[in-house]
Protein backbone atom coordinates (compact mmCIF):
# COMPACT_ATOMS: atom_id res chain seq x y z
CA UNK A 1 0.00 0.00 0.00
CA UNK A 2 1.36 3.40 -0.99
CA UNK A 3 1.96 5.96 1.71
CA UNK A 4 0.35 9.39 1.37
CA UNK A 5 3.72 10.88 0.43
CA UNK A 6 4.35 8.29 -2.29
CA UNK A 7 0.77 8.61 -3.52
CA UNK A 8 1.11 12.40 -3.73
CA UNK A 9 4.39 12.13 -5.60
CA UNK A 10 2.83 9.66 -8.02
CA UNK A 11 -0.11 11.97 -8.71
CA UNK A 12 2.19 14.98 -9.12
CA UNK A 13 4.42 13.07 -11.54
CA UNK A 14 1.39 12.15 -13.68
CA UNK A 15 0.24 15.77 -13.64
CA UNK A 16 3.72 16.94 -14.65
CA UNK A 17 3.84 14.42 -17.51
CA UNK A 18 0.42 15.57 -18.70
CA UNK A 19 1.42 19.25 -18.55
CA UNK A 20 4.66 18.61 -20.46
CA UNK A 21 2.88 16.47 -23.06
CA UNK A 22 0.17 19.10 -23.45
CA UNK A 23 2.75 21.86 -23.85
CA UNK A 24 4.75 19.97 -26.46
CA UNK A 25 1.57 19.00 -28.29
CA UNK A 26 0.34 22.59 -28.29
CA UNK A 27 3.61 23.98 -29.61
CA UNK A 28 3.85 21.26 -32.23
CA UNK A 29 0.27 21.55 -33.42
CA UNK A 30 -0.40 25.24 -33.05
CA UNK A 31 2.79 27.20 -33.56
CA UNK A 32 5.35 25.35 -35.64
CA UNK A 33 4.02 22.30 -37.43
CA UNK A 34 1.18 19.81 -37.51
CA UNK A 35 0.68 16.22 -38.48
CA UNK A 36 -2.56 15.14 -40.09
CA UNK A 37 -4.17 12.38 -42.11
CA UNK A 38 -5.73 12.90 -45.53
CA UNK A 39 -9.41 12.04 -45.18
CA UNK A 40 -10.78 12.79 -48.63
CA UNK A 41 -10.11 11.91 -52.25
CA UNK A 42 -10.22 15.49 -53.55
CA UNK A 43 -6.42 15.76 -53.86
CA UNK A 44 -5.80 12.51 -55.73
CA UNK A 45 -3.46 11.53 -57.19
CA UNK A 46 -1.13 13.94 -55.36
CA UNK A 47 -2.48 12.97 -51.92
CA UNK A 48 -4.49 9.82 -51.31
CA UNK A 49 -6.92 9.16 -48.47
CA UNK A 50 -5.15 7.66 -45.46
CA UNK A 51 -1.77 9.24 -46.16
CA UNK A 52 -0.16 11.24 -43.35
CA UNK A 53 1.40 14.61 -44.03
CA UNK A 54 3.46 17.28 -42.28
CA UNK A 55 2.07 20.83 -42.19
CA UNK A 56 4.42 23.80 -41.91
CA UNK A 57 2.52 26.37 -39.85
CA UNK A 58 5.32 28.93 -40.07
CA UNK A 59 5.25 29.00 -43.87
CA UNK A 60 2.95 32.02 -44.07
CA UNK A 61 3.99 33.93 -40.97
CA UNK A 62 6.36 36.07 -43.02
CA UNK A 63 5.30 35.29 -46.58
CA UNK A 64 2.07 34.89 -48.54
CA UNK A 65 0.85 31.71 -50.23
CA UNK A 66 2.00 31.22 -53.81
CA UNK A 67 0.42 29.56 -56.82
CA UNK A 68 0.96 25.82 -56.66
CA UNK A 69 1.20 25.64 -52.85
CA UNK A 70 -0.85 22.92 -51.19
CA UNK A 71 -2.49 24.44 -48.15
CA UNK A 72 -4.68 23.35 -45.27
CA UNK A 73 -7.46 25.66 -44.12
CA UNK A 74 -10.46 25.65 -41.82
CA UNK A 75 -14.07 25.28 -42.75
CA UNK A 76 -15.16 28.87 -42.09
CA UNK A 77 -18.80 27.76 -41.59
CA UNK A 78 -17.72 25.91 -38.43
CA UNK A 79 -14.90 28.17 -37.27
CA UNK A 80 -15.65 29.75 -33.89
CA UNK A 81 -15.48 33.41 -32.98
CA UNK A 82 -13.55 34.99 -30.10
CA UNK A 83 -11.36 32.74 -27.95
CA UNK A 84 -12.59 29.55 -29.64
CA UNK A 85 -11.39 30.92 -32.96
CA UNK A 86 -7.86 31.54 -31.65
CA UNK A 87 -5.04 29.01 -32.08
CA UNK A 88 -5.28 27.93 -28.42
CA UNK A 89 -9.07 27.79 -28.57
CA UNK A 90 -9.05 25.67 -31.74
CA UNK A 91 -6.47 23.32 -30.22
CA UNK A 92 -8.50 22.83 -27.03
CA UNK A 93 -11.70 22.41 -29.07
CA UNK A 94 -10.12 19.74 -31.27
CA UNK A 95 -8.46 17.97 -28.33
CA UNK A 96 -11.71 17.89 -26.34
CA UNK A 97 -13.70 16.46 -29.21
CA UNK A 98 -11.07 13.82 -29.93
CA UNK A 99 -11.10 12.70 -26.28
CA UNK A 100 -14.90 12.55 -26.40
CA UNK A 101 -14.80 10.66 -29.72
CA UNK A 102 -16.46 13.62 -31.37
CA UNK A 103 -15.84 15.58 -34.54
CA UNK A 104 -13.02 18.17 -34.63
CA UNK A 105 -13.21 21.26 -36.78
CA UNK A 106 -13.22 20.40 -40.47
CA UNK A 107 -10.12 21.21 -42.52
CA UNK A 108 -9.67 21.20 -46.27
CA UNK A 109 -6.52 20.45 -48.25
CA UNK A 110 -6.38 22.19 -51.65
CA UNK A 111 -3.92 23.66 -54.14
CA UNK A 112 -3.55 27.42 -54.58
CA UNK A 113 -4.42 28.35 -58.16
CA UNK A 114 -4.93 32.10 -57.84
CA UNK A 115 -3.48 34.76 -55.54
CA UNK A 116 -4.66 38.36 -55.01
CA UNK A 117 -5.02 40.22 -58.32
CA UNK A 118 -5.16 37.09 -60.49
CA UNK A 119 -8.04 36.67 -62.93
CA UNK A 120 -9.26 33.07 -63.08
CA UNK A 121 -11.24 31.54 -65.93
CA UNK A 122 -12.35 27.99 -66.72
CA UNK A 123 -13.03 27.11 -70.34
CA UNK A 124 -13.25 23.78 -72.14
CA UNK A 125 -12.17 21.84 -69.07
CA UNK A 126 -9.02 23.90 -68.50
CA UNK A 127 -7.95 26.62 -66.07
CA UNK A 128 -6.68 30.00 -67.26
CA UNK A 129 -4.82 32.40 -64.98
CA UNK A 130 -4.46 35.96 -66.29
CA UNK A 131 -5.32 34.68 -69.75
CA UNK A 132 -2.72 31.88 -69.78
CA UNK A 133 -3.81 28.25 -70.01
CA UNK A 134 -2.37 26.26 -67.11
CA UNK A 135 -0.46 23.05 -67.80
CA UNK A 136 -1.52 21.06 -64.74
CA UNK A 137 0.19 17.69 -64.93
CA UNK A 138 -0.93 16.81 -61.39
CA UNK A 139 -4.72 16.89 -61.92
CA UNK A 140 -7.20 14.05 -62.25
CA UNK A 141 -9.98 14.75 -64.75
CA UNK A 142 -10.95 17.92 -66.58
CA UNK A 143 -11.81 21.11 -64.72
CA UNK A 144 -15.47 21.96 -65.13
CA UNK A 145 -17.27 25.06 -63.91
CA UNK A 146 -19.59 24.63 -60.93
CA UNK A 147 -21.72 27.27 -59.19
CA UNK A 148 -19.31 30.21 -59.49
CA UNK A 149 -19.42 32.38 -62.63
CA UNK A 150 -16.15 32.98 -64.46
CA UNK A 151 -13.96 34.87 -65.11
CA UNK A 152 -13.36 36.16 -61.58
CA UNK A 153 -10.58 38.22 -59.99
CA UNK A 154 -9.07 37.19 -56.66
CA UNK A 155 -9.46 39.95 -54.05
CA UNK A 156 -6.84 41.08 -51.53
CA UNK A 157 -6.08 38.71 -48.63
CA UNK A 158 -7.77 35.81 -50.40
CA UNK A 159 -6.98 32.75 -52.53
CA UNK A 160 -8.62 30.73 -55.28
CA UNK A 161 -8.07 27.03 -54.58
CA UNK A 162 -8.84 23.76 -56.37
CA UNK A 163 -8.47 20.10 -55.50
CA UNK A 164 -6.27 18.08 -57.83
CA UNK A 165 -9.09 15.56 -58.33
CA UNK A 166 -11.23 17.98 -60.30
CA UNK A 167 -14.08 15.50 -60.77
CA UNK A 168 -15.04 15.24 -57.09
CA UNK A 169 -13.38 18.21 -55.37
CA UNK A 170 -15.46 20.76 -53.49
CA UNK A 171 -13.37 23.90 -53.87
CA UNK A 172 -13.44 27.57 -54.94
CA UNK A 173 -15.69 26.64 -57.86
CA UNK A 174 -18.35 26.01 -55.19
CA UNK A 175 -17.53 28.02 -52.06
CA UNK A 176 -15.57 30.90 -53.58
CA UNK A 177 -12.37 32.43 -52.23
CA UNK A 178 -10.49 31.37 -49.11
CA UNK A 179 -9.50 34.21 -46.81
CA UNK A 180 -5.93 34.27 -45.51
CA UNK A 181 -7.30 34.15 -41.95
CA UNK A 182 -8.49 30.57 -42.44
CA UNK A 183 -5.19 29.18 -43.75
CA UNK A 184 -3.39 27.10 -41.11
CA UNK A 185 -0.29 26.14 -43.04
CA UNK A 186 1.43 24.60 -46.03
CA UNK A 187 1.50 20.86 -46.72
CA UNK A 188 5.15 20.17 -47.48
CA UNK A 189 6.03 16.60 -46.58
CA UNK A 190 4.45 13.14 -46.66
CA UNK A 191 5.74 10.73 -44.02
CA UNK A 192 3.33 7.82 -44.58
CA UNK A 193 3.15 5.48 -46.42
CA UNK A 194 6.88 5.01 -46.19
CA UNK A 195 7.29 4.07 -49.85
CA UNK A 196 6.06 7.59 -50.72
CA UNK A 197 8.09 9.33 -48.01
CA UNK A 198 9.23 12.77 -49.18
CA UNK A 199 8.18 16.23 -50.28
CA UNK A 200 4.70 16.95 -51.67
CA UNK A 201 4.36 19.04 -54.83
Q: Which among 3, 13, 39, 42 is annotated as catalytic?
A: 42
Instruction: Please tell me which residue in 9, 61, 80, 110 is annotated as part of the active site.
Output: 110
- 42 belongs to the catalytic site: yes
Q: Is 67 left (phi over 0), alpha (psi -120 to 50) or beta?
A: beta
Cα separations (Å) of 40 from 37, 45, 65, 109, 135?
9, 11, 22, 9, 24
Nearest to 152 by CA among 173, 179, 166, 133: 173
> Which of 136, 67, 77, 83 minimizes the C-alpha distance to 105?
77
Residues assigned a catalytic role = 42, 110
Amino acid sequence: MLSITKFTKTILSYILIFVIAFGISFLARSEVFGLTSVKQSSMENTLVEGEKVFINKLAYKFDDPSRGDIIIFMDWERKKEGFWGSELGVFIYDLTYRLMDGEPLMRYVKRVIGVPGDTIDIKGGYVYVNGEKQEEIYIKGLTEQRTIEFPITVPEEALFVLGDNRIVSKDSRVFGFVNYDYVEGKVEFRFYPFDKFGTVQ
